[in-house]
Homo-oligomer: A and B are copies of this chain.
Amino acid sequence: MKNTTVRFAEMPRAELEEKLNGLRAIYEDYKAQGLKLDMSRGKPGSEQLDLSMAMLACVNDYDAANGFDTRNYGIVDGLPEAKALFADILGVEAENVIVGGNSSLNMMFDYLAQAYSTGLCGCAPWSTQGEIKFLCPVPGYDRHFAVTQHFGIKLIPVEINAEGPDMDVVEELIKDPAVKGMWCIPMYSNPTGITYSDATVRRIAAMKPAAKDFRVMWDNAYCLHHFEETGDKLLPLYPELVKNDNEDMVVMFTSTSKITFPGAGVAAMAASPANVADTKRRMSVQTIGCDKMNMLRHVTYFKNIDGVKEHMKRHAAIMRPKFAVVTEALERHLGGTDVASWHNPKGGYFVSVNLMEGCAKRTIALLSEAGVNMTPAGATYPYGNDPKDSNLRIAPSYPSVEELKVAIELFCICAQIACVEKCLEKN
C-alpha cells in the first residue's frame, strides 16, 4: 500500500545481524518492564461505556407508544419503535426488521441453526443436503468462522481486497450448489477496515448462486462507527437486491453492542418478507419475546437515527486518538519498509497488518513473552490457518492511549525482529 524503500529482504547478512542486535536490546528493555497490555479483542474502553449511562435512567413509564406494557410477555419480533429505529440504521422498512436480544452473533447463529435443522423458506435442512460450504472473505472475523464451523460447514477462504471480497472468485464459487452462503462485514470490515465499494455491493446484489437457499450473512456491525469526520459510505444493499429480484438472498444484522453496552445492547436483523416470516415462525417457538424494556430504553434515549449519530461522535472523539497512535507508530517504524503493509481505516475497531510472509506467529510470540496480548496469528482465517502466516489484527479500543503507545511501539519492534530473523534464515 506504500512505496517500499527499505527492503530487509535484500539487506546483506552483516547489516541484518547488526539490526537484530539493536532491536533485541530495545525488546529486552521493554520485556524488563513486566508489561500487561491487551490489544486482543474489539472491546470498547470503559470511557466509551460511560457515554451511555444516562440511558439506564431515561425511561419512567415502560409502556410502548402503542400502550403495550414492555415489562410483560409478548411481541416476539420486537417493539414497533425499535423496529423503526433499526430500519433506518439498516436501510430497510420497519416490516423487514426483527429486533432481538443483546447479541447479533446470537441472531446469526440461530439463523444458521435454523437453516441447518429445519431449512430456510421451504428448502430442505442443510443437515440433509450433504456437504455444505460457506465463503469466508479473508482476513475476516473469527467468530463468524466459528459459527459455520460449529455446524460442520466447510469454510472456503476468499481474498478480500480494497473493494471487498474478490468478486471474480465469488461469482465462480457460487456456481457450486453446495456453497450456501458468504460472510460479509461490508463497512469497516473486521479486521481490514475497508468498506465495500459500490461496485462490489452491486455485484453482490446481482449474484445468482446455484443454491436457492444461499444466504449472504451481511453483518453491518460498524455501520455508524466512523471516527474520521468524513467516514466511508456504503451503498445501501436492500434497494439493489430489490432491483435484482434478489431480496431473499441476504440477511442483515447489526447491534448497539458498540453504541451503548456490549453486554446489554440490542441486536436486530433485517431481511425480506419471506425470511422475516421464516424467522418469526422459529422465534415464536423459541421465546415469548426478547428484552423489550431494554429496547424501550434505547429508543427513548436516542429518539431516532440522528440521536444515534450524535452519540457516535462522542465515541469517535475517544477512538480517533487511539487509532492515530497506532497508525502513526506503524508509519514511523514500518512505513516504506517491506516489514508490513496496512490500511488506515476511517472507522470500525481494527487495524489489520500484513507482515512479511512467515512473520505473524513469531511476532505474536515475542509480544506475548513481553506481556502484550494480541489476537492470535491465524485467527483471521478459517480454521486459524493463515497460509502465509502474515496477517495480524490490532484492536486499539480497549487500552488507554498511554498503554496503547507502549504496546504499539513494542509491536513495531517485534514485527521488525521477526522480519529480520526471517531474512537471516533465508539469507
Contacts and interface: CB of A to CB of B under 8 A. Distances in A.
A94 interface: no
A396 to B, nearest CB: 16
A368 B71 CA distance: 27
A424 interface: no
A60 to B, nearest CB: 10
Interface in A128-182: 128, 143, 146-147, 150-152
A19 to B, nearest CB: 39
A41 interface: yes
A146 B49 CA distance: 39
A400 interface: no
Given A106-B287, A263-B293, 8 more contacts: A46-B71, A71-B261, A72-B263, A102-B290, A118-B150, A118-B151, A263-B292, A264-B293
A285 B257 CA distance: 17
Given A43-B72, A49-B72, A57-B57, A146 B109 contact: no
B43 A73 contact: yes
B263 A105 contact: no
Interface in A85-125: 101-103, 105-106, 109-110, 113, 116-118, 125
A44 interface: yes
A288 interface: yes
A290 B103 CA distance: 8
A118 to B, nearest CB: 7
A185 to B, nearest CB: 16
A195 interface: no
A336 interface: no
Q: Which 4 A-B pairs have the closest CB atoms?
A: A264-B293, A73-B262, A109-B286, A106-B287
Interface residues of A, number: 49
Contacts of A152: 118
6 contacts: A74-B263, A101-B291, A102-B290, A113-B117, A143-B288, A150-B285
A291 B262 contact: no
A15 interface: no
B44 A72 contact: yes
Interface of A: 41, 43-44, 46, 49, 56-57, 69-74, 101-103, 105-106, 109-110, 113, 116-118, 125, 127-128, 143, 146-147, 150-152, 257, 261-264, 282, 285-294
Contacts of A286: 105-106, 109-110, 147
Contact of A264 (B74, B263, B282, B292): B292
Contacts of A127: 117, 125, 127-128
A117 B151 contact: yes
Nearest to A74: B263
A113 B114 CA distance: 9
Nearest to A45: B72
B285 A263 contact: no
A407 B105 CA distance: 45
Nearest to A284: B146
A282 B112 CA distance: 13
A241 B152 CA distance: 33
Contact of A49 (B69, B103, B262): B69
A234 to B, nearest CB: 24
A70 B263 contact: yes
A288 B151 contact: no
Contacts of A113: 113, 117
Contacts of A116: 117
A420 B110 CA distance: 50
A102 B106 CA distance: 14
A288 B72 contact: no
A287 B150 contact: no
B294 A264 contact: yes
